[in-house]
Chains A and B, each alone.
Chain A
Amino acid sequence: GAVVSQHPSRVICKSGTSVKIECRSLDFQATTMFWYRQFPKQSLMLMATSNEGSKATYEQGVEKDKFLINHASLTLSTLTVTSAHPEDSSFYICSARDSGGAWNEQFFGPGTRLTVL
Chain B
Amino acid sequence: AQKITQTQPGMFVQEKEAVTLDCTYDTSDPSYGLFWYKQPSSGEMIFLIYQGSYDQQNATEGRYSLNFQKARKSANLVISASQLGDSAMYFCAMREGLGRTGNQFYFGTGTSLTVIP
| A residues in contact (CB < 8 Å) with B | 31-32, 34, 38, 42-46, 49, 51, 91, 93, 95, 97, 103-104, 106-108, 110-111, 113
Determine the main DSSP class of B at the interface with A.
loop
A44 with B107: CB separation less than 8 A? yes
> Interface size on B (CB < 8 Å)?
23
**Residues of chain A contacted by B42 (CB below 8 angstroms):** 110
A-B contact pairs, 26 of them (CB 8 A): A31-B101, A34-B105, A38-B43, A43-B91, A43-B107, A43-B109, A43-B110, A44-B45, A44-B91, A44-B107, A46-B104, A49-B102, A51-B102, A91-B43, A93-B45, A95-B105, A103-B100, A104-B50, A106-B47, A106-B105, A107-B47, A108-B44, A108-B45, A108-B47, A110-B42, A111-B43
Residue interface mask B19-40, A partner, CB < 8 A = 1: 0000000000000010101000
